[in-house]
Structure 1
Amino acid sequence: MTNSKTPTIDLDGIDGKWQSMRFDLMYRILDLPNRLNYAKEVISIAAEYGDGAPDYRDAFRARQYQYALLGIEANEIAETLRSKYSMPKKCYETWNPLERFIEKKAEIDAIENNRKCSS
């Protein structure tokens, strides 16, 4: 279906005391691998049971949507960490991935809403 690499999240190599963080923030970070696994399952189901070849529209849409959700969540976590620990903000020169994630999510939400309304 695609030649793109599937993202991975590995938190095992991180040293430190997770308990020193606020519980809600720690949970959101430690939950990212679970959310990635969920996204992979949704994408896999769309690839298997969606509209299929030659376009695989459902699978590509699921992939874009799920990864947009993950990107938005990861960005929110990063912003929270930067703010809490006085780290510098991320500066994007010409392309801000968060904007693209939000745009793609909104685009797919609109497609899905139109699909539901026309059914």
Structure 2
Amino acid sequence: MADWFIATEGVKVVKDSASLWPQIITAVSSAGAALIGVWYGQWLITKREEDAAASKLSSERLFIATELIFALELYAEGCAQVAGDKGQMVSEPNKQPERAPCAGYPALPDFEKVSGDWRSLPAGLIYRIREMPVRRNEAMRAIEDAWANSWPPDHDEFFSARQYEFARMGLKAIHLAKLLRKLSELPRSRLNESSWSAQPLMLEVLHRERKLRVRQEIESSL
């Protein structure tokens, strides 16, 4: 009799357990759906925040890039005038005529006054832009040294140095402006549209002066 009762109760427990499975499955499914809903809601919030941050970064980058591009390209055009300057003979009373420059040195952009968030630009690009004043100081020292070692009336060494150094400075400025244009998805520069534009003019000067320097090194080593 006891065995029959135990067996009967066992069958009843099994039947009761079986009847609970749909409730358990429903509860687990509901909990899973709730968790997924919470995760998806958080993902949407994060995605919106990331999109807003990316949009702000793009806007800040476009703003400062535009300011820097025009400043750099304007400077490059000034450098091209120096690079292409062959000078002219100037006469003074009671003095031998000497060759003098026609183009003055362009002022480097004041990067401290450029408005916008510099942090929106890559660190490497910021460094190369900020390095421009150092490069200009080096260029001016080379030109001053050439002047000290040049001979009147033509001052060939002086003119060679100023053309070479400012061709390098101008091409550096154009390269940085190109990087900024690419970064901000802006149109291409117009400084290389024709053979008399700033970029091809300075490239011609750079190639000519480099050949001259190689030849001078070879001659001095003989």
Match of 1:114 in 2: 215
Matched, 1:44 2:147: no
CA-atom RMSD in angstroms: 1.4
Match of 2:105 in 1: 6
TM-score (norm 1): 0.90
Matched, 1:79 2:199: no
Q: 1:99 aligns with which of 200, 211, 214?
A: 200
Three-state SS of the structure 2 residue aligned to 1:7 is coil
Q: Structure 2: how far apart are the matches of 1:105 and 1:91? A: 20
Q: Which has the higher helix share?
A: 2
Matched length: 118
TM-score (norm 2): 0.50
Q: Structure 1: how far apart are the matches of 2:154 and 2:124? A: 40
Three-state SS of the structure 1 residue aligned to 2:112 is coil
Matched, 1:65 2:164: yes
Using the TM superposition, give the Cα deviation of residue 91 of structure 1 relative to its aligned residue in structure 2, in angstroms.
2.4
User: 2:190 is matched by which residue type in structure 1?
Assistant: C
Question: What 5-or-longer segments of structure 1 have no aligned partner?
Answer: none
Question: What 5-or-longer segments of structure 2 have no aligned partner?
Answer: 1-99
